[in-house]
Structure 1
Amino acid sequence: MTSNSPTTQPSASAYTTIAVSFVALLLISNIAATKLFGLSLGPTTLIFDGGALLFPFTYVLGDVLAEIYGFAKTRFVILLGFVASALAAVVFLLVQILPPADAYKNQQAFEAVLGFVPRIVAASLMAYLVGQLLNAYVLVKIKQRFGEKRLWVRLLGSSVVGESADTLVFCTIAFYGVLTGASFWNYVLVGFTYKIIFEIVLLPVSYSVIRLLQRRSERTDLA
């Protein structure tokens, strides 16, 4: 019996905790992504956005969800993040266009930072649906094809597919025209490479969380 079977899934509290964490990381990343920063390595400058600090964790959580709960429940969390992000974009837009009070002196600063959020969120939503759904779908299909063995293969294989689609869609919608030529492709390639390295570094964490949830489900079945 696989870990996707309803009789071997951990408690609803674990699913809720992962889902809330997933959505929270997404929302924070959407706002943080409005800032680009560069790391100088000699003659080369690597370009990142602020979302790089937390967004890769959503793929780690997405892997855990898909591995333990299957595609349908993972898709629900992804769509929940979609709705929350869209709501955030609408709220920021409404707040931006409301007339500022006389005592409020930061309207231009607000627009300069959060005024860019709708474009970032649009990019994130499109990349999100493509990347996260591909990630979950590929992981589940690999598991169905090859069984429980070689967890690392499905974790990394699904992430390569999902992250490549996510990065290209997000970078194109969010920063095409803002970044041009070599700077744009620097941003795309650095972002993709960083996310995959991040996933590899966190493989022990992903393994530990997945094994913990599987052990909890087994103890629940025996109770």
Structure 2
Amino acid sequence: MKKPAYASPGSRYYPVLLTVMTVVVILSNIGASKGVQLGPFVTDGGFFLFPLAYICGDIITEIYGFAAARKGIIVGFIMSFLAVICFQIFISLPGFTDEWSLAHNEAMAMTLGPVWRIVVAGLLGFLGGQMTNSFIMVHGKKRNFESRLIRRLMSSTGVGEIVDTVIFCSIAASVIGITSVGQFLNYTMVGAGWKIAAQYAVIPITTRVIAAIKKREPSYQML
């Protein structure tokens, strides 16, 4: 029975994609601790960066398969958790007692202290969203093999980002100061709409990157 083609995650490209995705997730979690008001729209400081994590996830899933994508999600989960532990250690370490250092220590505690709640929200959202995203990508490729890549990207992105955003916003909203139902709905709809629109906008680039890696990936073959 014919099977869809995937490459070995032992290649030189997979670790680069995995690293970028993990770093983006960590930075997005830090940025998401800040509430942002852009005219009538409510969002957070990580809004411009997070779609890149899903783009990396799409590329990994399409080229290396669901197992490699799941590994990337787990690594991102573990490293984000490690970052939270490090932040708490930074905050708890005794600092200098001069006026500037006390102000710096307080600012660090205010900035990084709540990040663990953002990370929990981000991890659960990313876990649910990326698993959904990868599942749709893989099953779409089983049906269509190398064809209809754009359709796979659009469908997986739409569903995955909605799942991610609803989970994330439900937990993170109170952390960044959102208190009303109207603000929450604004935050959730803007978040999902922006992420989906951003990924749709770069699909022409994503497809070219995927095609370029497939051509240069010697292990890309039928499994």
TM-score (normalizing by structure 1)? 0.90
**AA in 1 matched with 2:191:** G
Percentage of matched positions with identical amino acids: 35
Are the counterparts in 1 of residues 22 and 76 from structure 2 also a CA contact under 8 Å?
yes
Are the counterparts in 2 of residues 66 and 136 from structure 1 also a CA contact under 8 Å?
yes
Higher helix share: 1
Partner of 1:193: 193
**AA in 2 matched with 1:188:** T
**AA in 1 matched with 2:4:** T
The counterpart of 1:156, out of the listed 154, 157, 161, is 154
Partner of 1:75: 70
Are the counterparts in 2 of residues 26 and 55 from structure 1 also a CA contact under 8 Å?
yes
Q: Is the partner of 1:111 in helix, strand or coil?
A: helix
The counterpart of 1:50, out of the listed 45, 53, 56, is 45
Q: Distance in 2 between matches of 1:219 and 1:50?
A: 39
Q: Distance in 1 between matches of 2:55 and 2:127?
A: 16
Partner of 2:217: 217
Partner of 1:2: 4
Task: Structure 1 unaligned segments of length 5 or more: list them.
Answer: none
Flag the 1:176–1:220 CA change in 2: closer, same or farther, 3 A. closer
Q: Distance in 2 between matches of 1:157 and 1:219?
A: 27
| Offset from partner CA, 1:16-54 (integer Å, 9 cap, x none) | 1111111111111111111111111xxxx1111111111
Partner of 1:94: 89
Shift of 1:91: 1.3
Deviation beyond 6 Å, 4+ runs, structure 1:
none
Q: Distance in 1 between matches of 2:153 and 2:199?
A: 8
Task: Structure 2 unaligned segments of length 5 or more: list them.
Answer: none
1:8-157 equivalences under 5 Å are: 9=8, 12-40=11-39, 45-103=40-98, 104-105=101-102, 106-157=104-155
**AA in 2 matched with 1:3:** A
Q: Is the partner of 2:42 in helix, strand or coil?
A: strand
Are the counterparts in 1 of residues 4 and 141 from structure 2 also a CA contact under 8 Å?
no
Q: Distance in 1 between matches of 2:49 and 2:186?
A: 20
Q: Distance in 1 between matches of 2:113 and 2:38?
A: 25
Are the counterparts in 1 of residues 58 and 134 from structure 2 also a CA contact under 8 Å?
yes
Partner of 1:206: 206
Q: Is the partner of 1:48 in helix, strand or coil?
A: strand
Q: Distance in 2 between matches of 1:220 and 1:98?
A: 48
| Offset from partner CA, 1:165-204 (integer Å, 9 cap, x none) | 1000001111147312100100000000000100111101
Q: Distance in 2 between matches of 1:188 and 1:176?
A: 13
